[in-house]
Amino acid sequence: MLYSEKVMDHFRNPRNVGEIPDADGIGEVGNAKCGDIMKMYLKIDDGVVTDAKFETFGCGSAIATSSMATELIKGKPLSEALTLTNKAVVEALDGLPAHKLHCSVLAEEAVKAAVKDYYDKNNIPYDATQFCDHDCENCSLEH
């Protein structure tokens, strides 16, 4: 099989699909030309991610990594959600084929983009270097 049972489970029964209409932070990454877009919605209360939902256009692993990422950050403090790495998403899914690892990077970036959106909307100061600026050639983030 191309995918692990965990990946197939999260693909077939994705957790937290949909939109949060009054989301506090929304992050969208990827582009349709490349074949995957992830949109992450976060509800944040008192520095804690109280709800997370996603919408994804993409392949099986794009859907599964989005689903797993929302599961991994729900109920966690923002500081912890920000430390979510693509590797953690891959491990939680029992691995991904090498050519699908970029999906897990997108999932990590979608979470971060949503948190950044929350910070920006609420004028909360943050360290900009921890967010992807989509300058892949000079990337210092370990993903």
Partner 1 sequence: MIYADNAATTRTSPAARQAVLDTMDRFWGNPSSLYAFGQEAAEVLYQARADVAACLNAKPQEIIFTSGGSEADNQAINSAAAVGKRKGKNHIITTPIEHHAVLHTVEKLAKEGYEITYLPMDASGIVKVEDVAAAIRPETCLVSVMFANNEIGTIQPIAEIGALCREKKIPFHTDAVQAVGHVPIDVEAMNIDMLSLSGHKFHGPRGVGALYVRRGAPLVSFIQGGAQERGHRAGTENLPAIVGMAAAMKDACAKIAANDAYVSTLRDALIAGLSEIPHGALNGATAPRLPGNVNFCFEGIEGESLLLLLDDKGICASSGSACTSGSLDPSHVLLAIGRPHEVAHGSLRLTLGEDNTMQDVEQIIAAVKDVVTYLRGMSPVWKELEKGERNYVI
Which residues participate in catalysis according to the annotation? Answer: 34, 103
Residues 6+ apart with CB under 8 A from 101: 86, 90
Site string for partner 1, 40-79 (x = CB under 8 A): ---------------xxxxxx-xx----------------
The Cα–Cα gap between 136 and 75 comes to: 31
Interface residue with partner 1 among 10, 14, 24, 42 (CB under 8 A) is 14
Q: Which range binds partner 1 by CB under 8 A, 26-34, 42-50, 78-86, 120-128?
A: 26-34
Q: Which range binds partner 1 by CB under 8 A, 4-12, 87-95, 112-120, 123-131?
A: 4-12
Q: 109-140 in b/e burial notation, b at 16+ Cβ within 10 A?
A: bbbbbbbbbbbeeeeeeeeeeebbeeeeeeee
Interface residue with partner 1 among 21, 22, 32, 128 (CB under 8 A) is 32
Residues 6+ apart with CB under 8 A from 139: 132
Interface residue with partner 1 among 99, 125, 127, 128 (CB under 8 A) is 99
Rule CB under 8 A: say whether 36 interacts with partner 1. yes
Rule CB under 8 A: say whether 11 interacts with partner 1. yes
Angle between helices 101-121 and 60-73 (to 10 degrees): 50
The Cα–Cα gap between 67 and 60 comes to: 11
Looking at the Cβ atoms of 60 and 77, the one nearer to partner 1 is: 60
Rule CB under 8 A: say whether 134 interacts with partner 1. no
The residues binding partner 1 (CB under 8 A) are: 8, 11-12, 14, 17-19, 28, 32-39, 55-60, 62-63, 99-100
